[in-house]
Amino acid sequence: MIEVSLPSPHTGAIITGVDVNAMSEADFEVIYRTWLERNMICVRGQRLTREQFLLYSRRFGRLKPHRVKQTRDPNHPEITLMGVNKTKADGTLNPLIVRRGASWHTDSPWDQEICKATQLYGIAIPRAGGDTLFTNMYKAYDALPGRLKDRIQGVEAEFVYGGLKRQGVNLLDPEDRDLPPAVHAIARVHEETGRTSLYINPTHITRLRSMSEAESAALLEELFPYMLQPSADYRHQWQVGDIVIWDNRCSLHAATGDHPPDQDRIHWRVTIMAPGGKAARAAAE
């Protein structure tokens, strides 16, 4: 029987007692509802092929291949292979692979289309380290004083892959490195819950629009500390067979990046978009 445990007050849930390959619609409804309520969930103890992982992931929305082409699965481009090919041709470790995602961010804000969710399936887990951190951006918005809530209403931000520091940009193919920024509101109302979250992250944001560079930098510096609220975070310790999905519309995450580099940390990853988004509409026209 499906069971749900809550490892922290406001973020995350661990779900057991279900096989995602053979579950009922009622069980999936529990999974989906819990995910919306908790921002991030782990369905534990699964055994999946790539095809099964994709089939389950599509229950949450439309899959979109990641912009980083070099780490896509060659036979299933919707899957990104995280943690593979970590050694360069000269035998040294590639830090872009080993420490990929090791800073606070939401996934794909640099896409013109908001990313609904990211889902990872644990294939190889190091004996020490390699956790993933999550924080609740509803709580970040709720913690803002009234003057800041008023100030950011209607404010939009520009996001590019890697942000101002261009972190990890060498993972992209040359033609994808200088694409125009995406623009999104930073006080963001969730399409399904109706709640407002603070949609900022220090990894990919470059500036706030309709203000000077100095004003933008000062406001972001004031907003960033609100990202991490007491009791609003969760540290996930991976097990092989974990399927973890998080809501990019209302949460941030970061890999700890602290596992021994000689130990494998490998996941299958998919990017999940809302059905009928911009790309789907354009393809239908």
Question: How much is the pLDDT for 107?
Answer: 97
Rounded Cα distance, 168 and 204, in Å: 11
What secondary structure does DSSP assign to the chain, as a single string? --EEE-SSSSS--EEES--TTS--HHHHHHHHHHHHHHSEEEE-S----HHHHHHHHTTTSEE---S--TTB-SS-TTEEEET-S-B-TTS-B-HHHHTTT-SSB-S-TTSSS---EEEEEEEE--SS---EEEEEHHHHHHHS-HHHHHHHTT-EEEE-TTTTTTTTGGGS-GGGTTPPPEEEESEEE-TTT--EEE---TTTEEEESSS-HHHHHHHHHHHGGGGS-TT-EEEE---TT-EEEEETTSEEEEE---S-TTS--EEEEEEEE-TT-HHHHHHH-
Residue 285 banded pLDDT, cuts 50, 70, 90: very low
> CATH number, domain at 85?
3.60.130.10
pLDDT in tens, 171-219: 999 999 999 999 999 999 999 999 999 999 999 999 999 999 999 999 9
Task: Give the pTM.
Answer: 0.93
pLDDT in tens, 52-87: 999 999 999 999 999 999 999 999 999 999 999 888
pLDDT in tens, 214-256: 999 999 999 999 999 999 999 999 999 999 999 999 999 999 9
Question: With contact defined as beta carbons under 8 Å apart, do 212 and 237 qualify?
Answer: no
* Number of domains present in the structure of the chain: 1
Region 96-116: mean pLDDT is 92
The CA distances from residue 243 to 19, 33, 116, 193, in Å, are 11, 16, 16, 23
Which domain range does residue 102 map to?
3-284
Question: How much is the pLDDT for 85?
Answer: 84
